[in-house]
Structure 1
Amino acid sequence: MYPNLYYAFKDLFGLDLPFFKLFQTFGFFVAIAFLAAAYVLSSELKRKEQLGLLHGVQEKITVGKPVGMTEILLHAVLGFVLGYKILGVALNWAEASQDFQSFILSTRGSWQGGIVLGIVFGFFKYRSAKKQQLPKQEVRTIMVMPHQRVPDFTVQAAVAGLIGAKIFHNLENWGDFVQDPIGALTSFSGLTFYGGLIVAAVVIIRYARSKQINIFHLVDSSGPALMLAYGIGRMGCHFSGDGDWGIYNSSYVTDATGKVTQVDPAKFQEVVKGSEQFFTRQYASLEHIPHAPFVKPGALSFLPDWFFAYGYPHNVINEGVQMAGCTGKYCSVLPVAVYPTALYEIIACLILFFILWSIRKKITVPGVIFGIYLMMNGVERFFVEKIRVNTKYDIFGFHPTQAEIISTLLVIGGAVLIWYSRKVFNAAKTRS
C-alpha cells in the first residue's frame, strides 16, 4: 500500500523522494476524481447546449471597479496561511514529513513566512485590481452557459460533499464520534460516499435552479461523471488502505511481510488466537469476527490471490500487526486477509461508467440516464455491502447497514425517476 506518494514512487520507480511524503494517496485520487468528473460533466453539458437542450442566462457584471480593501485583505490572509505553513514545513521538515496531516492541522508554522507571503499576495491583488480599474466603472451584460458553471459545481460539490460525508459517517459510528468528536471531525478518514452525494446534490440543485438550468438535463449529464468519480475515488481507498475494506476471508492469512497464503480453517483459528490482542480491540470476542471463507476458483486461477484476499501492508491507518523488518510510521499489516471490496468497486464502477457513457446519446428522455445511474449505483453498493464491515441497524428484526438502506432507496428512487420522466416526456409529446 501507498499511504502517500513517496511510497508509490519508491516502490514503482525506485525513487527516494521525501518531498512526496507531503501528498497523501487518498487525497491525490480524490483530486483526480473531481477533475475527471468536472471534465466529463463539462463535455456532456456542451453537447446538450449544442443540441439546444440547455441554454445560458444573461447576467450583469460590473467592470473597472476601484480596488477593494476587503479583497486585498482576504488575499493577504490566504498568503499568510500558506506562507506560515509552507515555511513551517520547510523549517521542521524532519517532523512534518513523518506526519504531514497532523502538522498541517496544528498551530505550528513560521510567522516570518506568513508575513512575507501575506504581503506578496496582498500586493499582487492590489496591482492586478489597479490595472483593471477604469476611470468610470461599467455594467456589462454577458451570456453564461451551463458548462461555464462547472467550476462552481465542483467547488460546491467538494465542500458540501465533505460535510455530508462527515455527517453521515459520524451518525453511522456515533459511539466513536462521542469518544473523540474533534478527532472525528478533523480526520481526513471516515467519509461516507452517500452522505456526500446527498448533501452535494441538494446544494447543487438549489444553485442550478437559481441559474435557470434544466434540472433533468443537468442530472443526466452528471450521472456518468458521478460514476467515474466514485470509481477513481475508490482507487484512493484501495491504494492507501484507508480501512474501507471487506470482512475477513478466512481461507487466507498473511505473514509478517504481507504475503497472502491459503490455509485451512484450523490454521485460520490458530492465526486469530496468535493475534488475539489485535482482534479483541475491535470485537467483543474471537467468535464475533466477521469472516467468510472463499478459495479462488480454478476457472479464475489466472487472477492473483490478492484479488480475493489482501492484507493491506503499510496501510495508512496502521491497522493490523507489526510487519517484520519495517521501521517508520506505516508498518502494519492485517494478520488475516480481507476481501478488497474497494478494488471490486473500482472495476464495477468503471464498467458502469462506460455503459452510461455509451448509451447517453441513445436515450432522449430527460431524467432517464440519471435514473439508470441511481439504480446501477444502488445495486452495485447493495451487493458489495454483503462482504463489507459496517455498522448494522435493528429495524423490525432486519439488520441492514446504512449503505444498504440508502442503496435500496436509490434503486427505488431511480425506478420512480425513470417512470416519472417518461410520463412527463410522453405527456409533453402528446400536447405538442
Structure 2
Amino acid sequence: MHPVLFEVIGLPISPYGLLIALGMLTGIWVAKRRGRAIGIPEEAVYDTVFWGVLLGFVGARIAFVLVNFGAFLRDPLPLVFSREGFVFLGGFLAALPVIAVVLRRWRVRYLAMADLLAPSLALAHAFGRMGCFFAGCCYGGVCDRPWAVRFPRIIDWRRGPVDLAEAEFTPGGAIYHGVDRVGDVVGSPAFYDQVKHGQLDWSDTASLAVHPVQLYDVAIQLGLFALLSWMWWRRRTLHGQIFLLYLWLYAASRIVLELFRGDLERGLWFGGWVSTSQLISGGLIVVALGLTLQRRRLFAPASEPAAAPRDPGDA
C-alpha cells in the first residue's frame, strides 16, 4: 500500500488517480490509432471517451455509495468526496446510453465503436486495478499462499506507519472507514475491516495475509487486452463481435474473481453468497447470450463501413 507518490503545490498525488489517468490516456491512444484503419475519426473517439468517462465516473461513484449505503447514511461526505471508491460495473452501465447519443452525432456504428474501445477498456481497467493495489482498496480474502500480501495498519504517507488510539477505530473516530483520511494519515481498508469484523485486534501492526486480488485482475485485464486486440486485427467478421467477446469474458472472470475478494462491505446478497458485481455480471452474461443467439440478425458484417460520411454542415 502506497497511497501517495509525491506532492504538487501541496496537493498529494496518489498512484490510484495517476494510474487511472495513465490507463485512460493509453487506451485512447490505442483506440485512436486503430480507428484510423476502419475510418472512425479521431474526434469521434475523443468525444466518445470524454462523455463515456464523465458519465462513467458518476455511475461508478453512485454504485460505490449504494453498496456502502450504511456508511453513507452515517457519514456521507467521506464516501462522496473520497479520491478512491469506484465500482467499475456501475460506470460501465452508466456510460453506455450516453455513448449511443454521441455516436449518432458522429454517424459511427455503435457496435463498431464498441469493438474499437473494448481492448482499450480492458487495458485502462488493468491500470486502474494496479491503482487499487496501491490504495489498498478492493482487497482479497484471507489466505496462506506464498504470494499473499499484508496491508499496513495505518500510515502517514509522509512518515510511514503510525500509532493511533483505539478510539480512532470506533464510530465517530478519525479512521472509522477505510476511505477516510485525517490530514496525512490514511487508513488501510483491509486492516480496518478485519478489526471491525473481529478478525484482528486494533493493536496489531498489519492486516492478515490476503489474496492480491487486484493483481489477479491486472493479469486478467492484460490477457483480455491481448486477446481482444488479436481478434480485432485477425478474426473480426461482424461489427460487435469483439465487444460481445469482451462481455462474455469480463463477466465470467468477474464472477470468479469475486470469490477471492475480502472486502465484505462491497455489497453482498443471499446471506453473503453473492456480491453486487456478481449479480450485475450475471445480467451481462444473459445479455451476451441473447446477443450471441441473435448476432447474425443484429450485427452487420465487418466489411460494411464503420462510419458514414458526415455532411459538411455537421458541427
Q: TM-score over 0.5 for the alignment?
A: yes
> Aligned partners of 1:316 and 1:415: how far apart in 2?
48
> Aligned partners of 1:426 and 1:24: how far apart in 2?
43
What is the match of residue 173 of structure 1? 68
| Matching residue's letter, 2:145 | K
Of residues 151, 160, 182, the one that matches 1:311 is 151
What is the match of residue 184 of structure 1? 79
Mapped contact 1:3–1:239 kept (Cα < 8 A)? yes
| Matching residue's letter, 1:43 | R
Q: Secondary structure at the match of 2:209?
A: strand
Of residues 23, 26, 29, the one that matches 1:36 is 26
TM-score by length of 1: 0.55
TM-score by length of 2: 0.74
Deviation at 1:370, TM superposition (A): 0.4
> Aligned partners of 1:428 and 1:363: how far apart in 2?
7
Q: Percent identity?
A: 27
> Aligned partners of 1:329 and 1:393: how far apart in 2?
26
Of residues 351, 355, 364, the one that matches 2:227 is 355
Greater per-residue helix proportion? 1
What is the match of residue 414 of structure 1? 288
Q: 1:384 to 1:238 in 2, by over 3 A?
A: same
Q: Which moved more, 1:395-404 or 1:32-41?
A: 395-404
Deviation at 1:151, TM superposition (A): 2.1
Q: 1:30 to 1:393 in 2, by over 3 A?
A: closer
> Aligned partners of 1:407 and 1:364: how far apart in 2?
26
Mapped contact 2:240–2:299 kept (Cα < 8 A)? no
Q: Deviations over 1:77-110 (max 9, x none)?
A: xxxxxxxxxxxxxxxxxxxxxxxxxxxxxxxxxx
> Aligned partners of 1:358 and 1:183: how far apart in 2?
42
Corresponding pairs, count: 263
> Aligned partners of 2:285 and 2:155: how far apart in 1?
33
Mapped contact 1:322–1:331 kept (Cα < 8 A)? no
Q: Secondary structure at the match of 2:38?
A: helix
Of residues 32, 35, 45, the one that matches 1:45 is 35
| Matching residue's letter, 1:357 | S
Q: Over aligned residues, Cα RMSD in angstroms?
A: 3.1
- Which sections of structure 2, spanning at least 5 residues, go unmatched? 165-183, 189-204, 304-315
- Which sections of structure 1, spanning at least 5 residues, go unmatched? 7-16, 50-144, 250-294, 298-306
Q: 1:383 to 1:425 in 2, by over 3 A?
A: closer
Which runs of structure 2 are paired with 1:207-356 in the superposition (5 Å)?
Answer: 207-241=102-136, 243-249=137-143, 295-296=144-145, 307-312=147-152, 322=162, 329-330=185-186, 334-356=206-228
Q: Deviations over 1:6-51 (max 9, x none)?
A: 3xxxxxxxxxx886963111110010011011112212221111xx
What is the match of residue 197 of structure 2? none
| Matching residue's letter, 1:296 | R
Mapped contact 2:139–2:214 kept (Cα < 8 A)? yes
What is the match of residue 252 of structure 2? 379
Q: 1:341 to 1:395 in 2, by over 3 A?
A: closer
Mapped contact 1:2–1:314 kept (Cα < 8 A)? no
| Matching residue's letter, 2:255 | F
Deviation at 1:230, TM superposition (A): 0.6
What is the match of residue 309 of structure 2? none
Deviation at 1:410, TM superposition (A): 1.7
Structure with greater Cα Rg: 1
Mapped contact 2:149–2:212 kept (Cα < 8 A)? yes
Of residues 187, 192, 206, the one that matches 2:101 is 206
Deviation at 1:219, TM superposition (A): 0.6
Mapped contact 1:382–1:403 kept (Cα < 8 A)? yes
Q: 1:386 to 1:213 in 2, by over 3 A?
A: same
Deviation at 1:334, TM superposition (A): 3.0
Between 1 and 2, higher relative CO (CA 8 Å, sep ≥ 6) is seen in: 2
Deviation at 1:424, TM superposition (A): 3.7
